[in-house]
Chains A and B, each alone.
Chain A
Amino acid sequence: MSSPELLLRAHAVSRRWGGLIAVDQVSLDLARGTVHAVIGTNGAGKSTLINMLSGELAPSSGRVELLGHDVTDWSQPRRARAGLGRSYQRNTIYPSFTVFENCRLAAQARTPRPWAWWEDASKCEASTAAAYASVARAGLTDLRELAAGLLSHGQKRQLEIAMCLATAPDVLLLDEPLAGMGAEETERMLNLLAELKAGHATLLVEHDMDAVFRIADCITVMVNGAVIASGSPDFVRNSPAVRLAYLGEH
């Protein structure tokens, strides 16, 4: 059996603000075809970690590798162009654009040609094709001409994913994609994430434990910025450290 293709590696990344250590020496590997979940209570440092991986925040120490390159000093847009897609806790769609336009704009990041001021953006075949594909993959084809602001919450979260997919990423960093969803919407999103699993390395930050244990191949548990356990769902479920942190059990 061949070893999994590692797409993103974090080596002992830390983030400090003065005396506060938000993330402390966290290391993790993301391989293609796997979902790696990061769980923890509020303030555990999950979002700070994802921000460092995506390049939105510079780590105080440590190193990040993307597709074998040291990207620690790369800007967020450069990392995104190199194949790193992310979604946010809060919706960051463009409400006045249609669903399709949201995805086409995202796809345009791969073929920007900003100097071609005379070319109509809607005539760009590459970004149009990528947008159609990502809308279809996220299951939003029927809604593609609707203004994104009119979508339901769950559909907006799907659109977030579709916008990520439009940039053809290898790595997906998903920050609470299930937040605020009902049961039906959660099921739809989990099916989508399961479909995406094969072609991507996915980092999932999530509070919905049922969903996490259902979909994740590996789970990292953070408390106060540090990793207290990391391994398979079974390992984490039976970890005394996790039980202590979550349930107060010895």
Chain B
Amino acid sequence: MKRSEVIFVVVAFAAMALFPLVAEPYGIDRVTKIMIFCIFALSLELLVGSTGLVCFGQAAFLGIGAYAAVLLSPSDGPVSLLWLLPACMLSAAAYALFMGALSLRTRGVYFIMVTLAFSQMAFYVVHDTPLGGGTDGIYLTNKPVLGSLLDLERSLPMYAFTFVCLLCVFILLALILRSRFGRALAGIRVNEQRMRATGFSTYPYKLAAFVLSGGIAGLAGFLFAVKDGFVNPELMSWHLSGEVLIMIILGGLGHLRGALLGAFAFAMLQELFKSEAIFGDFAKHWHLGLGLSIIASVALLPRGLVGVPQQLGARLLGRHQSAPGATSIEGAK
């Protein structure tokens, strides 16, 4: 990571850490939700941006993590966070193992469709059966506890816990991506054929990435369930799989910080277009404004928001430097 990128990440996390000091409860609640989306987006970034696997069923893992949090919590009292959290992540990872083991046999658009199909299967299991409470969803009556250390009923500890989870996930993924496993994933993203010819059995690598991604999305699902105290089938809907895909594209594929930026930008755009103070009656049609703005950003920012400084720099330099045939390493990228 370049120095400027490290500074950006440190500043972003410092801002999130200090935000509750200046924010109203609504703001804290909102940013908690965005941080959960950041975790969700990071899980997909590992697959799409880092491995080149365009998964269109990521919401299934989120939903399974969320439903597991509710279904594994007894109704007669709170359960320990220390076992509920891993159980939720493992549930989502187990489904990812099942989904990945089969879907990774396919490629390209078939892979996208197969992951969507698996996701829809999970959706209809909770939508159409008593297991998940049908369309009404189910309530989490007792939130998990960590002795007397953490009261997740209150918004500030929930914010702090979510922040720590996000930080841990980010650091974990940053370490993984610079490890030999991560470099192999990067190689698979660019040219899987060459990786196999070099001696890498790519299938286990992709499956491991898939399972890890599912587990992280399961963590996001767990946090959703604990924060809202309620889950419904919408958490597994294909709309959500599409939204998280848009987040990472908006932020900039291939960069962990792009997932953070994308999740925040998406939420901000949603807030903006939903605002009646700004858009009046048109705010009812916020999807339209959101869609148009996303189309515009994808068209104008091909590298996503993380590429904005580079794009601006290139434009400014282009005006001052016009050396014929000049090229750059970034150009090659």
Contacts and interface: CB of A to CB of B under 8 A. Distances in A.
A111 B124 CA distance: 44
A109 B179 CA distance: 13
A77 B183 CA distance: 17
Contacts of B193: 56, 88, 92
Interface stretch (B21-29, B76-84, B184-192, B273-281): B184-192
B179 A117 contact: yes
Given A96-B333, A114-B205, A124 B180 contact: yes
A108 interface: yes
A235 interface: no
Interface residues of A, number: 44
Nearest to B332: A149
B327 interface: yes
B75 interface: no
Most chain B C-beta atoms within 10 Å of own C-beta, residue among A105, A111, A122, A163 = A105
A56 B202 CA distance: 13
Given A80-B199, A108-B184, A167-B199, A96 B179 contact: no
A96 B332 contact: yes
A120 B199 contact: no
Nearest to B330: A147
Contact of B183 (A54, A56, A108): A108
B4 interface: no
Interface string B165-207: 0000000100110111111101100110110111111101100
B210 to A, nearest CB: 14
A239 B196 CA distance: 38
A116 interface: yes
A158 to B, nearest CB: 15
A70 B217 CA distance: 44
A76 interface: yes
A120 B181 CA distance: 10
Interface string B191-233: 1011011111110110010000000000000000000000000
Interface residues of B, number: 31
Most chain A C-beta atoms within 10 Å of own C-beta, residue among B180, B191, B327, B333 = B180
B247 to A, nearest CB: 23
Contacts of A124: 180
A147 B332 contact: yes
A112 B180 contact: yes
A119 interface: yes
B296 interface: no
B187 A80 contact: no
A95 B189 CA distance: 12
B180 A108 contact: yes
Interface in A31-87: 54, 56, 75-78, 80-81, 85-86
A81 B195 CA distance: 11
A121 B197 contact: no
B317 interface: no
Interface string A113-141: 11111111110100100000000000000
A95 B196 contact: no
B329 interface: yes
Interface of A: 54, 56, 75-78, 80-81, 85-86, 88, 92-97, 104-106, 108-122, 124, 127, 146-150, 163, 167
8 contacts: A54-B197, A106-B198, A114-B181, A117-B176, A119-B179, A120-B178, A127-B180, A150-B331
Interface of B: 172, 175-176, 178-184, 186-187, 190-191, 193-194, 196-202, 204-205, 208, 327, 329, 331-333
Given A88-B194, A94-B191, A150-B329, 4 more contacts: A56-B193, A76-B196, A80-B197, A114-B179
